[in-house]
Structure 1
Amino acid sequence: MRLVVFFILIIYSIPSMVNAQQRIYLYADSDSNIIKNGFDTVKPYMEYYLATNQLSNNPRTAILICPGGGYKYLAWEKEGVKPAKFFNSNGIDVFVLHYRVNDEMLHGHGYPAQYNDANKALNYIYDHADSFHIQKNRIGIMGFSAGGHLAATISTLNPLNPKTFTPSFSILVYPVITMENPYAHAGSKKMLLGEDSSADLIKQLSVEKNISPNTPPAIIIQAGDDKTVPVQNSIMYYEQLLANHIPAALFIYDHGKHGFGMAENDPWLSQWPQQVVAWLKECHFL
């Protein structure tokens, strides 16, 4: 009787075991300079979401998602977990990045902490691709708002540095792109660069200026009525991709404002995730 009960418990525990997320910390315990005592509660990590609809036995596509939050907080559920589960249902593995952030008093982390966290995560995915059953030339990066700036920074700076891994594609959703006026998002700029940043650093992190022929293809999603991050951010990035002959797609919806996430309650706007999947297939990333 006890043996029967044991097997019943095992059977009922399988779904929760499958759905449990794997948390992967990016730095060793010996890296004591990564966190700031009194500010950070946890070291940078990513959560791994395994594809629930695995379309074949071939190695899968993977996406590293950088949630937004103005480099001040992370919209973890709306811009991390929910899109991860959507892409999982389309046969894509997802890693959601918990990167370092700042606060109004600038007690936290500015550049290059976030950039380093994203690079650490991408390198980990690449180095362990075989064990995850991920195809190394189909590892992309995605970001929302300030997370879009982080994804675009990785996509533009990494091709200029042969020691860093360049993702195969980028997905940018209402992204912060420039640090220069008049279209900069002031909050993200302050959290990332501080209040007295140099003109050189502002230019370096205005990612539209760093696009090269080696920048990965991108799909960009934004609403035309976005008053928080002007739509010119997306347009500038798109235009520079075209100027460098890089495959790119830009969807500007007529409404949605800023931070619409998956837009589950809007029949028109909620089509954007499927457009991303269609684009990935069109570009042979899926």
Structure 2
Amino acid sequence: MKITVLFLMITFTAFVRGQEKLEMYPDGIPNTKEGVDLGENTPELYFYKPLEAKHKTSFLIIPGGGYSHVAMKHEGHDVAKALSDLGYPAFVLRYRLPKADQMLDKRVGPIQDAQQALAYIRSNTKMLGIKRGKVGVLGFSAGGHLASTLSTHFETDYLNKGLSAAILRPDFSVLVYPVISMDDGITHKGSKNNLIGPDLFETDSTRFSNELNVTKNTPPTYLVHAIDDKGVPIENSKRYLKALKENGVEGKLFIYDTGGHGFGMINRTDARSWLDDMIGWLNKTKT
């Protein structure tokens, strides 16, 4: 009996140390219509603290889901666990999905949550027990669009808190089969319609086509994409990489011939690990 209780205590402790849910908005969630219950659309931030913190660099992970759901497991928690095992502090963001019946402006709900998460991590390193260092963003699919928005819109404080670009700019970006553009020729139409539809305006399409928003101050970026991705064409990553190069920003595109869309950390059609390659790139990159 004592052995069983001890085992349960150890297991529970390991779980708590492995994943902690943080209070991201202690002062209330912005951009919410009065009297609305967000329900399952409440933003959440999970912290994976390494048992041995080998690195000062932290990752903010943003799962995909077409802005219709959030793929928290294979594009979120699984990735955070892997990075934590490597000694990196990692955070998983469940951002609000853009819903007009809940938000005053649904277009900016997700980027508000991403900016809040990044600012929270940077402001609470001591409380979290991690070393102050670089914080990068790692996003998948529509989460890659949100990560690229975070990486190109940092001059705009969507939270209206007077936060500086230095706080809101990630130190680097990792974009895995990302939605980048709102251009109808290459975008993921579901993501586009969910974020800025159903009434589509050219100003919004330009605003959230992040290949058009790259500047010399955009963070160095590592991209991953498969040539046979039919959900989000690889042209999204290629356009972002082209914009990076045109602005003198370091970037790399890791290309799989096959793998399609949504493979997360492991492309089962190719033995190469983009995660391992990304870590190598990060160690050599000036961020």
With the length of structure 2 as denominator, give the TM-score of the two structures. 0.87
Consecutive unaligned residues in structure 1, runs of 5 or more: none
Moved over 3 A (4+): 7-12, 28-39, 106-109, 133-137, 159-162, 264-267
Q: Partner amino acid for 2:257?
A: D
Distance 1:13 1:64 in 2: 29
Counterpart for residue 157 of structure 1: 153
What is the Cα-based RMSD across aligned positions, in Å? 2.6
Measure how far apart 1:108 and its partner are. Answer: 5.5
Consecutive unaligned residues in structure 2, runs of 5 or more: 158-162
Identity score, percent: 35
- Describe the SS at the equivalent of 1:60: coil
Q: 2:96 aligns with which of 77, 97, 100?
A: 100
- Describe the SS at the equivalent of 1:203: helix
- Describe the SS at the equivalent of 1:196: coil
Q: 1:139 to 1:29 in 2, by over 3 A?
A: closer
Measure how far apart 1:15 and its partner are. Answer: 4.6
Counterpart for residue 148 of structure 1: 144
Residue 95 of structure 2 is aligned to residue 114 of structure 1: no
Distance 1:15 1:139 in 2: 29
Q: Partner amino acid for 2:71?
A: A
With the length of structure 1 as denominator, give the TM-score of the two structures. 0.87
Distance 1:31 1:108 in 2: 11
Q: 1:265 to 1:185 in 2, by over 3 A?
A: closer
Distance 2:265 2:241 in 1: 22
Paired residue total: 275
- Describe the SS at the equivalent of 1:251: strand
Q: Partner amino acid for 1:27?
A: Y
Distance 1:28 1:133 in 2: 19
Q: 1:33 to 1:169 in 2, by over 3 A?
A: closer
CA deviation digits over 1:228-282, x for unaligned, max 9? 101000000001111111111111110000001122644525x111111111111
Contact 1:61-1:134 within 8 A present in 2 as well = no
CA deviation digits over 1:71-104, x for unaligned, max 9? 000111010011111111211111100101147x
Residue 176 of structure 2 is aligned to residue 173 of structure 1: yes
Measure how far apart 1:39 and its partner are. Answer: 5.6
Distance 2:37 2:7 in 1: 43
Contact 1:34-1:43 within 8 A present in 2 as well = no
